[in-house]
């Protein structure tokens, strides 16, 4: 029963995250196609400010609530009312701080207005984080998916309809976003109060204790969230809304591979944690296998961008504003090669209780990104943003590799890389062959994806000992089950 619950909850969170990512990608393409780079930059900048202040104002409480209510579920009625009240205060303060910051910065008035409208979503989003923390503590993540996925899909449809049919700008898109977050909160509150009777009593001492207990979580989340949006914020200050839109378009093209790497490494985290008790040799084996698997995905993706990146840009965005980003994409996508190491080694250090290296990595990477961004973007504009992005990835890679090498073990890089290199070399030959015939882009995409699947499958079967050995293993396993 517990195993079934774990699988159901994991799938619910995965579906929610997948729908969010797909909706973001589709909306970005729709804004780029119909409104252009300037308004895409406005939307991405406004979303970045919303995301930073909403996360700082709410993620600390969400983490604390999930932990505490998992241990003490009988306290849910008290936490629901007092936590919601505290979260309301924090989210209003967060929105006020965002308004002041945007007002003081040298943005165009129309850009500031988009930020003000989008920022209103900080309040309902923060409040729904409390309800979601309670759902997670009760291991009812299916309710999170049920309350968010339909709204996200409907929101995307309405936004695209408004853009294409009504010719509405980003102000309306931001407004629709706010309304959708209000709807999500109302649905979750109704679901929760139908199962739990709130205890309508505000306890000042309890609220002060909540705030005190959550301050460490607030600090950790704040650093990570700010780091994730550093590039967009620096570009907006040293560049322009158009540059934000162009660089945001580049980052969105890398979003699918980033989501895959993050999801696989997160799913492997429990296995890395269990391997700690089996010794460093076992840990090294597990970590190397995970990095190898992720590099078998990342390296062909990077090679594909170098061959068909320009066609991909034209196919997705269909706007001449974005024709200039091919070289920026080719440089920025190199950061994908560091991601399998960064994600895996980060979780590996956490598994061994060495999270101080993770904190160092976040702080140093953020500092390097800020300094590099100021210097490079002011000198090289959009290319400088790409170099900044790459420098942050290399910094994180170096720090985490040092942490693992100095405190745990040395990775066998050849054992990690020889399979990805085989797949990467094979895919290079495939792209060169397809390039000779100058066929339709969609057909190139289908053929190259099919070729990758065949090559990867062949290599996987060969690694397991060949077809005969694999067949024998499957047959033996089925005999044991029967």
Percent of the chain with pLDDT over 70: 88
In this predicted structure, the answer to whether residue 132 has a pLDDT above a threshold of 60 is yes
The helix/strand/coil state of 353 is coil
Tens digit of each residue's pLDDT (9 = 90 or more) over 189-228: 998 888 888 877 787 787 787 777 776 666 666 666 776 6
State the pLDDT at residue 177.
95
For 430-473, the DSSP string reads HHHHHHHHT--HHHHHHHHHHHHHHHHHHHHHHHTT-HHHHHHH
Tens digit of each residue's pLDDT (9 = 90 or more) over 148-165: 889 999 999 999 999 998
In this predicted structure, the answer to whether residue 138 has a pLDDT above a threshold of 50 is yes
In this predicted structure, the answer to whether residue 3 has a pLDDT above a threshold of 70 is no
Q: Where does the pLDDT of residue 84 fall: very low under 50, low under 70, confident under 90, or very high at 90 and above?
A: confident
State the pLDDT at residue 357.
81
State the pLDDT at residue 68.
73
CA-CA distance, 102 to 373, in Å (whole number)? 19
Contacts (Cβ under 8 Å, ≥6 apart) of 237: 105, 106
State the pLDDT at residue 266.
67
CA-CA distance, 189 to 166, in Å (whole number)? 33
The helix/strand/coil state of 251 is helix
In three-state form (DSSP H/G/I as H, E/B as E, the rest C), the secondary structure along 112-152 is HHHHHHHHCCHHHHHHHHHHHHHHHHCCCHHHHHHHHHHHH
Tens digit of each residue's pLDDT (9 = 90 or more) over 369-379: 888 888 888 88
CA-CA distance, 363 to 77, in Å (whole number)? 37
CA-CA distance, 390 to 394, in Å (whole number)? 6
State the pLDDT at residue 463.
63
State the pLDDT at residue 102.
94
Q: Where does the pLDDT of residue 1 fall: very low under 50, low under 70, confident under 90, or very high at 90 and above?
A: very low
CA-CA distance, 334 to 323, in Å (whole number)? 20
State the pLDDT at residue 470.
46
Please check whether residue 464 is in contact with residue 473, taking contact to mean a CB–CB distance below 8 angstroms.
yes
Which string of b and e fits 14-52 if b means at least 16 CB within 10 Å?
A: ebbeebebbbbbbbbbbbbbbbbbbbbbbbbbbbbbbbb
Quick one: tokens of 474?
A: 């499957």
Percent of the chain with pLDDT over 90: 32
Least confident of 43-47, 55-59, 425-429: 55-59
Name the more confident of 15 and 316.
Answer: 316
CA-CA distance, 392 to 363, in Å (whole number)? 11
State the pLDDT at residue 469.
47
Q: What is the mean pLDDT of the chain?
A: 84
Look at residues 14, 9, 24 and name the one whose alpha carbon lies nearest to residue 152: 24
| Terminal Cα-to-Cα distance of the chain (whole angstroms) | 22
In this predicted structure, the answer to whether residue 169 has a pLDDT above a threshold of 60 is yes
Tens digit of each residue's pLDDT (9 = 90 or more) over 438-478: 788 889 999 999 999 998 888 877 765 554 544 555 555 55
Question: Max Cα separation, the chain?
Answer: 73
Look at residues 263, 258, 264 and name the one whose alpha carbon lies nearest to residue 290: 264
Tens digit of each residue's pLDDT (9 = 90 or more) over 410-429: 888 899 899 999 999 999 99
Instruction: State whether the Cα torsion 468-469-474-476 is positive or negative.
Output: positive
Tens digit of each residue's pLDDT (9 = 90 or more) over 217-274: 666 666 667 766 777 888 888 888 888 999 988 988 888 888 788 777 766 776 777 7
CA-CA distance, 219 to 66, in Å (whole number)? 17
CA-CA distance, 281 to 408, in Å (whole number)? 10
For 372-392, the DSSP string reads HHHHHHHHHHHHHHHHHHHHH
State the pLDDT at residue 399.
93
State the pLDDT at residue 240.
84
Tens digit of each residue's pLDDT (9 = 90 or more) over 304-359: 999 999 899 988 888 888 888 889 999 999 999 999 999 889 888 877 877 788 77
Please check whether residue 91 is in contact with residue 54, taking contact to mean a CB–CB distance below 8 angstroms.
yes
Please check whether residue 368 is in contact with residue 395, taking contact to mean a CB–CB distance below 8 angstroms.
yes
Quick one: tokens of 330?
A: 């080719």
State the pLDDT at residue 130.
84
């Amino acid at each position: 029963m517990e195993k079934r619950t774990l699988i159901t909850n994991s799938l619910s969170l995965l579906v929610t995250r997948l729908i969010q990512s797909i909706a973001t990608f589709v909306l970005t393409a729709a804004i780029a196609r119909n409104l252009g780079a300037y308004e895409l930059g406005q939307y991405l900048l406004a979303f970045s400010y919303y995301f930073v202040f909403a996360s700082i104002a709410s993620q600390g409480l969400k983490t604390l609530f999930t932990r505490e209510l998992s241990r003490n579920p009988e306290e849910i009625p008290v936490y629901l009312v007092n936590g919601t009240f505290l979260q309301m205060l924090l989210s209003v303060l967060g929105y006020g701080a965002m308004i002041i910051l945007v007002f003081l910065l040298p943005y165009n008035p129309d850009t500031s207005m988009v930020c003000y409208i989008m920022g209103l979503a900080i309040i309902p989003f923060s409040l729904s984080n409390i309800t979601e923390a309670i759902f997670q503590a009760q291991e009812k993540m299916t309710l999170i998916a049920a309350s968010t996925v339909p709204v996200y899909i409907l929101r995307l449809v309405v936004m695209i309809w408004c853009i294409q049919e009504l010719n509405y700008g980003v102000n309306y898109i931001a407004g629709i976003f706010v309304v959708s977050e209000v709807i999500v909160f109302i649905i979750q509150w109704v679901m929760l109060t139908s199962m739990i009777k709130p205890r309508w009593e505000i306890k000042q001492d309890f609220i002060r204790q909540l705030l005190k207990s959550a301050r460490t979580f607030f600090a950790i989340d704040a650093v990570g969230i700010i780091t994730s949006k550093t590039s967009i914020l620096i570009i907006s200050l040293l560049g322009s809304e158009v540059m934000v839109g162009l660089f945001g378009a580049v980052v969105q093209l890398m979003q699918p591979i980033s989501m895959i790497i993050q999801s696989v490494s997160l799913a492997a985290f429990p296995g890395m944690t269990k391997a700690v008790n089996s010794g460093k040799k076992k840990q090294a084996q597990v970590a190397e296998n995970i990095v190898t698997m992720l590099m078998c995905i990342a390296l062909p993706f990077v090679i594909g961008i170098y061959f068909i990146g320009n066609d991909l840009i034209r196919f997705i965005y269909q706007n001449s504003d974005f024709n200039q980003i091919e070289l920026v994409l080719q440089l920025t996508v190199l950061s994908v090669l560091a991601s399998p190491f960064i994600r895996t080694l980060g979780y590996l250090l956490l598994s061994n209780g060495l999270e101080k290296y993770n904190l160092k990595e976040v702080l140093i990477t953020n500092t390097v990104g800020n300094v590099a961004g100021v210097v490079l973007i002011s000198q090289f504009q959009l290319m400088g943003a790409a170099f900044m992005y790459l420098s942050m990835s290399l910094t994180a890679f170096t720090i985490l590799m040092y942490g693992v090498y100095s405190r745990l073990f040395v990775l066998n890089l050849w054992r990690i890389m020889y399979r990805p290199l085989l797949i990467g070399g094979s895919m290079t030959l495939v792209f060169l062959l397809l390039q000779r015939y100058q066929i339709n882009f969609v057909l190139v995409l289908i053929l190259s994806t099919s070729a990758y699947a065949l090559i990867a499958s062949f290599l996987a079967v060969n690694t397991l000992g060949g077809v005969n050995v694999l067949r024998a293993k499957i047959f033996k396993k089925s005999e044991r089950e029967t």
